Structure 1
Amino acid sequence: MRVGVLSDIHANRVALDAVFDDMPDVDAVVCAGDVVGYNPWPAECVAALRERDVPTVMGNHDRTVATGASFHGNGMASAGVTHAKRDLSDAQAEWVRGLPRERVLFDGRLKVVHDHPTRRDHYTYPEQFSSDLLDGEDVLVLGHTHVQAHEEFPDGVVLNPGSVGQPRDRDPRAAYALVEFAESGVSVEERRVAYDIGAVADAVRDAGLPEATASRLRDGR
């Protein structure tokens, strides 16, 4: 079984389309959260996941939209959340509110959370990957840091597929991963795909979102 793994789409429809166009045939797709935030197309990105029935968990930007709260001290994040609250339909907002904190899928072989298995909103960077994060699953999928990485341990794999819509590992290309489950074990392929960053930057400005939201896309930061 082959699974496409996404995270941190952040309302970047152009990057998401590029990822789906690049993705080979898979048996399922999963998403580690933050579908909305920062970029101009939260409704379109929610619609794309709903149409494909993608199992998704709630990220911190999704949760902020769902609860009606706001970010403090981060103008880009706050503007993206405000935009999402205006842009989502009632049905889409209800879908976001219904996202769980974690999902365990494929007969317990894959667990998906946004940040850390037990510490909500904790940034789990690659240097913090360890077998202690695993709890019986073959693959633990994390997001939140926007840094693509995976590490294999004797008892399983910890994977961050990276960010589709706002990479922060100095590679501006959209990031995702493929996980292959076989009788012989599990394999992971990290993938990157170029997309039209200029078109996204123009749309960010047209939507009245912060200029920094556009400029950081080119730097992958």
Structure 2
Amino acid sequence: MIQLAIISDIHGNLLALEAVLKDISDRSIDQIYCLGDLVDFAPWGNEVIDRIRAHRIPCLLGNHDERIAYDLPIIPLAHHDAIETANREIAINWSKQTIRADNKQWLAALPYNITLTYKSGSSIKNILLVHATLESNDAYMYRDDSKNELIAVLKERSVDVLVMGHTHQSYIQEQSDILFVNSGSVGRSREDDRKATYTILQIAETGIDAEIVKLNYAIDEVASAIYKSDIPNFYGDFLLKKAALV
């Protein structure tokens, strides 16, 4: 059996990343892939990038990574209120000023998606990794969204599993013999528990199974570091709020 760990949406949260990498190591999983969004909203954007680079973890270009790498304008999001919009602009501009030039160059060279093909026994399986969707790293695809048109495209490409991030809400869903997996967020979960979340794929001749892993980590320490930084307190409060999504 082949095992893969899929991580995503770290957002500068080094302590959450370290907890996830330790858990992956403890499970003796040596294949790790990252779906992007390494930066913004916690103080360790450079350290997170350095860690991914040091571990030689293949990584996709997330929408936040792309904005920092290419100094793209900050466009307000329709689902954010005025308070979050203002704090988001401050936080992203902080990243633009603090991410090192070599890390921006590294981000700019990341691929948009990755297709993995594995053979287990006589069975060949194709896994497509994207940050958000096939055609956009800004679009949102939730569990309840219709996937009928997407299924036709994936069938044409012989894709057995689509793994995505971006929404910060994990799920596993099977439709028309295609497995849809959202790996959740390592560093900025929008789920009520706020735990560091990632996915394990287990590939066997009989098929592919997915498991969502949720880990406790030192959220209080991350929030404290945010409060001591120039990143708005909004993002520390976000991590500490374990009730309704914000």
TM-score, reference length from structure 2? 0.84
- Taking only aligned residues, the RMSD between alpha carbons, in angstroms, comes to 1.7
SS at match of 2:144: helix
Paired with 2:146 and 2:19, the residues of 1 have a C-alpha distance of 28
Q: How does 1:69-218 map to 2 (within 5 A)?
A: 69-73=72-76, 74-107=85-118, 109-128=126-145, 130=147, 132-133=150-151, 134=154, 135-218=157-240
Change over 3 Å in CA distance of 1:8–1:120 after alignment to 2 = closer
Paired with 1:106 and 1:5, the residues of 2 have a C-alpha distance of 15
State which structure, 1 or 2, has the greater radius of gyration over its C-alpha atoms.
Answer: 2
Paired with 1:47 and 1:83, the residues of 2 have a C-alpha distance of 18
SS at match of 1:158: strand
Corresponding position: 1:47 with 2:50: yes
Which runs of no fewer than 5 residues in structure 2 stay unpaired?
Answer: 77-84, 119-124
| Offset, 1:154 | 4.2
| Offset, 1:113 | 1.0
| Offset, 1:185 | 0.5
Paired with 1:112 and 1:129, the residues of 2 have a C-alpha distance of 19
The number of aligned residues is: 221
| Offset, 1:15 | 0.6
2:224 partner letter: D
Paired with 1:67 and 1:2, the residues of 2 have a C-alpha distance of 34
Paired with 1:76 and 1:125, the residues of 2 have a C-alpha distance of 25
1:3 partner letter: L
Q: Which residue of 2 aligns with 1:15?
A: 16
- Provide Cα deviations, 1:54-87, integer angstroms capped at 9, x if missing partner: 1111111111101112324423332332222233
Percent identity for Structure 1 against Structure 2: 30
2:63 partner letter: N
Q: Which residue of 2 aligns with 1:34?
A: 37
| Offset, 1:129 | 6.1
Change over 3 Å in CA distance of 1:22–1:172 after alignment to 2 = same
Which runs of no fewer than 5 residues in structure 1 stay unpaired?
Answer: none
